[in-house]
Amino acid sequence: MSEAVRLPAVAGLFYESGAQALRVEVEGFLSAARGPRPGETAWRALLLPHAGHVYSGEICGKGVGAVELPSTVLLIGPNHHGAGAGIALSDAPAWRSPLGDVPVARALVDELLAEGPPLRLDGHAHRREHSLEVIVPFLQSARPDVSIAFLSLGEPDLDVCLGVGRAVARAVTRLEAGGGRVALIVSSDLNHYLPREKNREKDDRALEALFGGDPVELFERVLVRERISMCGVLAATALLEALRGLPPTRPRLVAQGDSGDAFGDTSRVVGYAAVLWETSSDPGEKEN
C-alpha cells in the first residue's frame, strides 16, 4: 500500500476545516439523533448522504447516531470525477481529517484484494473524491478507534456491480469467521435538481427499489428506465448483492429530506436519506 496518508480534499468546502468547529458541528448532529433502539441494535449496513454538512449533515448524523459502530467499516461510494480505476480500493495507510487520522482497515482490504479483479488498489480514484471523505468525521466521532476500508465504484456495469457485491460478501464472511464484525456503509445522495415535489417522487422510487432488495431492479430502475440521478446507485447495487450473501437483514428508513431544508429554497433540490439494514431476529426470515 502507499506510504502517503490520504489528505482531505474538501475540508473548508463541504465541512469545517478546523478541528474544534468540525467536532462541534458533527457532535451536534449526532447528539440530535434518536440513538439505537433498545433491543434492536444488531445491524449490517447503512446508506448515508454525502453533501456539504450544512445540507445533509443532519440526516447523516441521524443514520450514524442510530447504531453502535463496530471497529471495522467498509465505506463504499461513487467516483464523481471519473479519475483512476473504476473499482478502486484506497491504497493509503490512513485518511486524514481535521479530527485526526483514521487507519485503513488493512485486514479487510487484503481480504477484498484476495477476490481479484476488478478490485484493485488505486489512490488516484480517491484523491479528489468527496463522497467518502465527508462521512469520515461522523464515523470518527461515533467510534474513535474505527478503521475503514475505502472503496470507490465508478464503472456503470451491472455485472461488475454484482461481482463486487458478491466479493464483498465473501471477504466479510471470511474476516468475521475469525471474530469481530464489519459494517457496510454506502455513500449516496438521491435525485438531483428538480422541484421538491417531483424530486421526492423520484427519491421514493429509488428507496422503494432499495427496500425491495433486488440489485438488478435498483440498477435498471434508476439508470435505465426512470433516469433517477442517484449518484451512489452503483455502490447501492453492490450493497444489495452483498446482503444476499450475508445473514438476513431488513431495511428501515431512519431519515429523509432534501437540500431545501437548509435554507428554504425548494425550487431545485437534492434528495437525501439515511437507510439502515437491521439484522433479522428470526433466523428463518429471508428479507434483505
Q: How many angstroms separate the CA atoms of 152 and 126, rounded?
A: 7
Cell (9 digits) for 45: 449496513
What is the predicted pLDDT for the residue at 281? 54
What pTM was estimated for this model as a whole?
Answer: 0.95
If DSSP states are collapsed to H, E and C, what string results for the chain? CCCCCECCCCECCCECCCHHHHHHHHHHHHHCCCCCCCCCCCEEEEEECCCCHHHHHHHHHHHHHCCCCCCEEEEEEECCCCCCCCEEECCCCEEEECCEEEEECHHHHHHHHCCCCCCEECCCCCCCCCCCHHHHHHHHHHCCCCEEEEEEECCCCHHHHHHHHHHHHHHHHHHHHCCCCEEEEEECCCCEEECHHHHHHHHHHHHHHHHHCCHHHHHHHHHHHCCCCCCCHHHHHHHHHHHHCCCCEEEEEEEEEECHHHHCCCCCEEEEEEEEEEECCCCCCCCC
Domains in the chain, ordered, with CATH?
19-279 (3.40.830.10)
| Terminal-residue alpha carbon distance, the chain | 34
Percent of the chain predicted with pLDDT > 90: 90
What is the predicted pLDDT for the residue at 285? 42
pLDDT-based confidence at 158, cuts 50/70/90? very high
Q: Which of 9-18, 37-46, 99-108 has the lowest mean pLDDT?
A: 37-46
pLDDT-based confidence at 32, cuts 50/70/90? confident
pLDDT-based confidence at 283, cuts 50/70/90? very low
What is the predicted pLDDT for the residue at 33? 86
What is the predicted pLDDT for the residue at 37? 64
The C-alpha torsion from 221 through 225 and 229 to 234, rounded to 10°, is: 50
Cell (9 digits) for 248: 438476513
Q: Is the pLDDT of residue 124 over 60?
A: yes
180 Rama class: left (phi>0) / alpha (psi -120 to 50) / beta: left
Q: Is the pLDDT of residue 39 over 60?
A: no
Segment 41-62, tens digit of pLDDT:
599 999 999 999 999 999 999 9
Average pLDDT over residues 245-274: 97
Looking at per-residue pLDDT, the higher value among 41 and 205 belongs to 205
Segment 57-104, tens digit of pLDDT:
999 999 999 999 999 999 999 999 989 999 999 999 999 999 999 999
Pick the closest to residue 239 from 68, 59, 70, 47 (CA basis): 47
Q: How far is CA 210 from CA 31, 97, 202, 232, 263, in A?
A: 27, 30, 13, 12, 28
User: How far is C-alpha 216 from the geometric centre of its chain's CA atoms?
Assistant: 19
What is the predicted pLDDT for the residue at 36? 75
Average pLDDT over residues 209-229: 98
